[in-house]
Chains A and B, each alone.
Chain A
Amino acid sequence: DAKTTQPTSMDCAEGRAANLPCNHSTISGNEYVYWYRQIHSQGPQYIIHGLKNNETNEMASLIITEDRKSSTLILPHATLRDTAVYYCIVRVLYAGGTSYGKLTFGQGTILTVHP
């Protein structure tokens, strides 16, 4: 799977939008962009994924550039409970036959939301 580059840490004020960038310049045409987060002492939580179109769900929006070499996760109104490590991951869905594409975690971005 292609590697991703994320800032080590970011701060955001409560109530403001949090924009988390991710570079994935070597992404392949069949690789999806996934975002997970891990709140302290919990298992990772799925946030959103996309292939080439922008996506939105109840948690966040995902903006993928036209060349697909980078993306941004947007938390529209950050709260203190959004403080977590955010992981941007690229992966194929199926890696040959029925073999499922692996989720490979990098170091992620530590997002701190402050009052």
Chain B
Amino acid sequence: SAVISQKPSRDICQRGTSLTIQCQVDSQVTMMFWYRQQPGQSLTLIATANQGSEATYESGFVIDKFPISRPNLTFSTLTVSNMSPEDSSIYLCSVVSRGQTYEQYFGPGTRLTVT
């Protein structure tokens, strides 16, 4: 299975600032996704990160708030912009590997607290 790392693993940020989360995979992947898990809740898909083009956002999520980049087949970033306490969540990167179409893997997550 793909090995996924995320940076930072956790952060505490002030409201109004922005944080960029990095997702690095040890092998080329076909699909990359970003999820959010609010405290005590299940996971919610934010967007699909598309290589070389704009991300595809789910209902309720917009590019101005969560800009995403995916410059190549192994790396993506998610920025949480103009943060408020409601953005306090765990943000998770998820991938589908080449040759393992049926299985989708998740990174360890980035725990964000906004004060």
Q: A: which residues have CB within 8 A of B?
A: 32, 41-46, 49, 87, 93, 100, 102-108
User: Do residues B42 and A43 form an inter-chain contact, with CB atoms below 8 A?
Assistant: no
Contact A46–B42 (Cβ < 8 Å)? no
Q: Which of B45, B48, B109 interacts with A43 by CB under 8 Å?
A: B109
A107 to B37 alpha-carbon distance, docked (Å)? 11
Q: Closest approach, in angstroms, between the C-beta of B21 and any C-beta of chain A?
A: 13
- Residues of B at the A interface (CB closer than 8 Å) are 1, 4, 30-31, 42-45, 48, 92, 94, 96, 101-109
Q: How far is the CB of B79 from chain A (nearest CB, A)?
A: 20
Assuming the contacts A43-B109, A46-B105, asked whether A103 and B42 have C-beta atoms less than 8 A apart, the reply is: no
Partner of B102 from the list A45, A93, A105, A107 (CB cut-off 8 Å) is A93
| Residue in A41, A45, A102, A107 whose beta carbon sits within 8 Å of that of B42 in the complex | A107
**A107 contacts across to B, CB distance below 8 A:** 42
A105 touches B43 (CB 8 A): yes
Decide if B103 touches A46 in the complex (CB within 8 Å). Answer: yes
Please give the distance in Å from A89's CB to the nearest CB on chain B. 10
A40 CB to nearest chain B CB (Å): 11
Please judge, given known A-B contacts A43-B92, A93-B101, A100-B31, whether A105 and B42 are in contact too, CB under 8 Å. yes
CB-contact partner of A44 in B43, B101, B102, under 8 A: B43
Q: Does B96 contact A49, Cβ atoms closer than 8 Å?
A: no
Top 3 nearest A-B pairs (CB, nearest first) are A43-B106, A105-B43, A105-B42
With CB as the reference atom, state the residue of chain A lying closest to B104: A103
The CA of A103 and the CA of B42, in the complex, are separated in Å by 12
Taking CB as reference atom, which chain A residue is nearest B30?
A: A100
Residues of B within 8 A of A41 (CB): 109
- A100 near B96 with CB under 8 A, answer yes
> B residues within 8 A CB of A43?
4, 92, 94, 106-109
Q: Are B104 and A46 in contact (CB under 8 A)?
A: yes
A108 touches B108 (CB 8 A): no
B106 touches A44 (CB 8 A): yes
| CB pair B102 A102 closer than 8 Å | no
Chain B residues whose C-beta falls within 8 Å of the C-beta of A45 in the assembled complex: 106
